[in-house]
Amino acid sequence: MFYRVDYMLAVQIAGFFLGFAFSRRTASMRPDRLASGYYLATAVVLLLRVCSTLAGMFLGAHVLNILGAALGDCAGVLFGALLGLAARRSDRREFLVHPSVLGALCFGVAFTFALAAIGKVIALENMTEFFAQSGYSVTFLKFIVSAEILGALGVLLPWAVPLAFIGLSVDMFGAVLTHVHNRDPLNDSTGAIALLIHLMVVGVLWTLRPRTDKPVRTLKSATAFIAIAMLASLLVAVGGSSAMRHGGAPAASHLR
């Protein structure tokens, strides 16, 4: 609920230890059953977040905004708990790459980016001012909103997941770099950092999923592959943000 990097990490770490505490009790549960339970819990949290977010948009109630932030914390706890639950399982890989788990993680990422894009549209005036201060144009703001919506949809399509993950990673690295360029405090990048962590973890698990047409990857090779992809995304974000900042009129000029 507090927009801070240390708080965000603490929520996920707390979730990990919570899951770890229950991992011995759930160790005898079948991975498909446990994975389905995680999917259901994630779906309930996302549904409640949708309801609270829509209600907050139309009613503007401060209590609903607090509820939405609390539900966001619940999503962070669930994310950490997933890794904690797998810690003591002998079949942790089968559990973590189960379609229900991957589906829940992808739905969470898709919802977050879709909500971020909608939030930019609703707060268009403020976002335009921020982009102008950052040296970007309105056209670039529209591109980012469109990219986040398309990326959210792509995460839900198995054939488009790799491309969507790369595009969304570039987007989040670009957000962090923009705040660095503006000399904003680190806490302004909390949301982007949290999403980069999620994208990295989900990317590794997606790479580890069993496929009939390709050999099984090891955790080491999957992590290295995702690390290279994230590094490439960072480099693209560095070049892209610099190019967008120096090319085209800043957003403020489009308001005159």
Q: What is the pLDDT of residue 3?
A: 57
User: pLDDT per position in the chain (256 positions), as tens?
Assistant: 445 788 888 999 999 999 999 998 888 888 888 899 999 998 898 888 878 777 766 666 666 667 777 888 898 999 999 999 998 888 999 999 999 999 999 998 998 898 888 888 888 888 999 999 999 989 999 999 999 999 999 999 989 999 999 999 999 999 999 999 999 988 888 889 999 999 999 999 999 998 877 788 899 999 999 999 999 999 999 999 888 876 655 555 444 4
The whole-angstrom separation of Cα 154 and Cα 164 is: 5
| CB-based contact 105:75 (threshold 8 Å) | no
The whole-angstrom separation of Cα 140 and Cα 17 is: 41
Question: Which letter, b or e, does each residue of 115-128 get, where b requires 16 or more Cβ atoms within 10 Å of its Cβ?
Answer: bbbbbbeeeeeebb
C-alpha angle with apex 238: 228 to 220, nearest 5 degrees? 10
Q: Can you give the pTM of this predicted structure?
A: 0.87
Q: What is the pLDDT of residue 256?
A: 42
Q: What is the pLDDT of residue 24?
A: 86
Q: What is the pLDDT of residue 249?
A: 55
Q: What is the pLDDT of residue 83?
A: 93
DSSP string, 22-82: HHHHHTTS-HHHHHHHHHHHHHHHHHHHHHHHHHHHHH--HHHHHHHHHHHHHHHHHHHHH
Q: What is the pLDDT of residue 248?
A: 54
Backbone angle region of 136, left / alpha / beta, with phi > 0 → left and psi within -120 to 50 → alpha:
beta
Q: What is the pLDDT of residue 96?
A: 93
Q: Dig out the tokens for 28 from the structure.
A: 């005898």
The whole-angstrom separation of Cα 149 and Cα 154 is: 9
Q: What is the pLDDT of residue 16?
A: 95
Predicted confidence (pLDDT) per residue in 96-144, tens digit: 999 999 999 999 899 889 888 888 888 888 899 999 999 998 999 999 9
